Amino acid sequence: MRLRLQTTPHGRLAEEERDKKYMIKNKKGMLIVVEKIIGGDRYKIMKTRKNRTGILIAIALIGVIALVGNAQALVEPVSGTVNSVVADGQIVTLYLDINPADYVTVAVTDNPGYHDYYYFNDIEPMLLRNGYSTGDSYDAIVEMRCSGDEREINQVVGASYTNTLKNITPSTAHFTGVYDGAIDVPPTMELEPCVTEGETFSKNLYEGWNLVSLPLAPNNNSAGAVLSSMSGKYDAVYSYNAVTKQFEDVSSGIMDPGIGYFVHVTSPGTWTYRGTAYNSMVTELKSGLNMIGWLNCSKPISDALSSIDGDYYYVARFDASTRSFETYNPAAPNGFNDFTTMDRGTGYFISAKLDCTLTES
């Protein structure tokens, strides 16, 4: 559904008509009150009325449409409703069918007495960078996910979020729009509660470097989501590539179980996230250093690394509280090692004598 304002042949309303309210009707029979804004040819959509079938259209759009020429807007807004009156603040995601990785988010706005709504002010930058031209049709989806990362139209990634509601199926909010400056309105998004899955893991992180791993497979494995409880308290996340023997920045990437991660913390805090238990692993080790994760349990190292017995020199972990490494050498006598167990949530270096496979369950 698209909305277009009608103007005089000159594309402007007469001066004496400024600051008045106008009632217009779109092709679906929706009546919309439009108010003139002082000092320019710009209009604000104020509210809606019932259509001819008596169905209340609850899209209290707060968009601004700029009129130029033959009623052609300079922005490409998208707005719609959700079938809930308690969705205020939930995050909605919009993306094109041809490129789901390019998305933008916006928070749902409260609409007292009516269904809540969302409003994307202008998706033109997204259309342009995906090859669309004025007048083209485009297929897109708006959906509400249980968790994810906020993202601006200029592709800047923001904070991680967690919703309490999600849309029932993506198809309920699939729509075809036209890149013509008119407001495109997807079908009403049908919602249901998010079901919290798995268990919670917590670990205190110290200022400086912390070598951690994920004992739970996260519900959302983006680094921002996994570390959302530490948002604003860390500035770098690194994994180690045993093939290239280089550290790699994964701050904007993903975090998965079985891998060790160095997290640089700028302000100490408690890291908490949810997921399902990581109870078995098959990890390929390369000759030399490997930075790995561990399972959702604690085990003596002799048992934990029995599958590579004789194929490694030592194991090391990093104590963030003292900012020092601790080591375990399988050839050392009892009492000479700094630690003797592999613990959940901790990352480890294993110095392998040769390429081998670590398996454990």
What is the pLDDT, as a whole number, of residue 170? 58
Would you say the C-alpha torsion 96, 101, 106, 111 has a positive or negative sign?
A: positive
Same domain, 142 and 270: no
3-class DSSP string for 23-43: EEECCCCCEEEEEECCCCCEE
Same domain, 171 and 311: no
Same domain, 290 and 249: yes
What is the pLDDT, as a whole number, of residue 172? 63
What is the pLDDT, as a whole number, of residue 57? 34
Evaluate whether 297 touches 265 at the Cβ level (below 8 Å).
no
What is the pLDDT, as a whole number, of residue 146? 85
**Single residue among 140, 175, 193 that ends a domain in this structure:** 193
**Single residue among 193, 214, 229 that ends a domain in this structure:** 193
Classify 97 as helix, strand or coil. coil
Same domain, 281 and 162: no
Cα 51 from chain centroid (whole Å): 36
313 CB-side CA count, 13 A: 11
Same domain, 35 and 18: yes
Same domain, 189 and 312: no
Same domain, 216 and 103: no
What is the pLDDT, as a whole number, of residue 220? 83
Q: Between the CA of residue 37 and those of 12, 26, 67, 355, what are the distances in Å?
A: 13, 21, 12, 71
Same domain, 179 and 217: no
Same domain, 61 and 110: yes
Cα 287 from chain centroid (whole Å): 36
Rounded to whole angstroms, the Cα distance separating 296 from 201 reads 9
Q: How many domains does one find in the chain? A: 2
Q: What is the mean pLDDT of each run of 10 residues along the chain (361 residues)?
A: 37 34 37 37 38 34 38 74 91 92 94 92 95 94 89 91 82 84 92 80 96 92 90 95 96 94 96 92 96 96 96 97 96 92 97 97 85
Evaluate whether 215 touches 266 at the Cβ level (below 8 Å).
no
Same domain, 133 and 218: no
* Beta strands 78-81 and 31-36, pairing class: unpaired
Tokens in use for 151? 């993202």
**What is the span of the domain harbouring residue 328?**
199-360
Same domain, 205 and 346: yes
What is the pLDDT, as a whole number, of residue 264? 97
**Single residue among 127, 161, 193 that ends a domain in this structure:** 193
What is the pLDDT, as a whole number, of residue 162? 87
The answer for residues whose C-beta is within 8 angstroms of residue 22's C-beta and 6 or more apart is 33, 34, 35, 36, 43
How many helices (H) does the chain have, and how many strands (E)? 3, 31
Same domain, 166 and 34: yes
Burial code (b: 16+ CB inside 10 Å, e: under 16) for 348-359 equals: bbbbbeeebebe
Residue whose token pair is 């040819």 = 41
